[in-house]
């Protein structure tokens, strides 16, 4: 049985106060007091400047909520102006990082090779680990041209080739069709399930047990109204939520859909 993961991707939104309040309110809504623990994992990915604030808030309320970055640099340190290293994330108590979000690929030109390098760097650090969530998905043009599976296969293969299949024991995957991100248009549960099943089938060519155990989240206009049906699909193990994660009540409702 795969434990579900519900992740909030705040993108370039939020503030220090919002990060702090969100953690304490969400913890109250989901965990009650005293903390009983959750039947699924909850992750908050605020913008870089608020990672420390979010981590401290989690610690302060003794919550099981995890904190993640939206991207990370593949190098240990050096002259990379504006970038953030894995060591810096570890220093802030950050336990996850998105890798290869479609906005990073499209707006900042991250290639499959660069995404693979970031993934390799993430799975290479331990004590504490920073778990990558590998994001992949097709554009509307690619879907219309019948290329969804070939695009996904290529995005996945570049990471498997660079990191090895065993690395997926320390990682999660998010399928996010680009046409469903921030558009209000959600993939139907059947459309999403079919791609999730395909991703698992691709992984199983290398390792059946890993294909079976890896979590595959769905992202793209997940909302309180569609979350339960999406999460009930056989190969959907949670969600990566953008817009609907900026409001704590709406995000809490999505989390509860995983119960």
Binding site for ligand PGA (CB under 6 A): 9, 176, 181-182, 219-222, 240-244
State the nearest-atom distance from the C-beta of 95 to ligand PGA, in Å: 18
Q: Count CB neighbours of 244 within 10 A.
A: 19
Say which of 101, 103, 110, 138 is annotated catalytic: 101
Q: Please confirm, yes or no, whether 103 is among the known catalytic residues.
A: no
Closest to ligand PGA by CB, 58 or 222: 222
Closest to ligand PGA by CB, 123 or 244: 244
Closest to ligand PGA by CB, 31 or 245: 245
Chain-centroid distance of CA 209 in Å reads: 21
Q: How far is CA 14 from CA 36, 51, 63, 239, in A?
A: 28, 11, 20, 20
State how far the Cα of 226 lies from the Cα of 231, in Å rounded to an integer. Answer: 9
* CA end-to-end distance (rounded Å), the chain: 13
Query: Containing H/E element for 218?
Result: strand 216-219
Q: Which residue is nearest to ligand PGA (CB)?
A: 242
Say which of 74, 103, 138, 176 is annotated catalytic: 176
Q: Please confirm, yes or no, whether 141 is among the known catalytic residues.
A: no
State the nearest-atom distance from the C-beta of 187 to ligand PGA, in Å: 10
Residues forming the active site: 101, 176
């Amino acid at each position: 049985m795969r434990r579900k993961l519900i992740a909030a991707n705040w993108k370039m939104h939020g503030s220090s106060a919002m990060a702090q309040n969100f953690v304490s309110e969400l913890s109250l809504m989901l965990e009650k007091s005293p903390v009983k623990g959750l039947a699924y994992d909850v992750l908050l990915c605020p913008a870089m400047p608020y990672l420390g604030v979010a981590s401290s808030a989690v610690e302060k309320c003794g919550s099981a909520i995890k904190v993640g970055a939206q991207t990370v640099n593949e190098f240990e340190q050096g002259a990379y102006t504006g970038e953030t290293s894995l060591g810096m994330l570890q220093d802030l108590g950050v336990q996850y990082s998105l890798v290869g979000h479609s906005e990073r690929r499209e707006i900042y030109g991250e290639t499959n090779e660069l995404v693979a390098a970031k993934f390799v760097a993430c799975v290479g650090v331990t004590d504490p680990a920073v778990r990558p969530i590998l994001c992949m998905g097709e554009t509307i043009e690619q879907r219309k041209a019948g290329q969804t599976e070939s695009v996904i296969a290529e995005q996945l293969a570049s990471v498997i080739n660079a990191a090895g299949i065993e690395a997926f024991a320390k990682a999660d995957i998010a399928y996010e069709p680009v046409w469903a991100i921030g558009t209000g248009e959600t993939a139907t549960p059947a459309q999403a399930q079919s791609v999730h099943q395909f991703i698992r089938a691709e992984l199983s060519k290398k390792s059946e047990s890993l294909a079976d155990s890896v979590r595959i989240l769905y992202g793209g206009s997940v909302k309180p109204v569609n979350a339960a049906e999406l999460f009930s699909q056989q190969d959907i193990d949670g969600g990566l939520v953008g817009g609907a994660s900026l409001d704590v009540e709406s995000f809490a409702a999505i989390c509860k859909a995983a119960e």
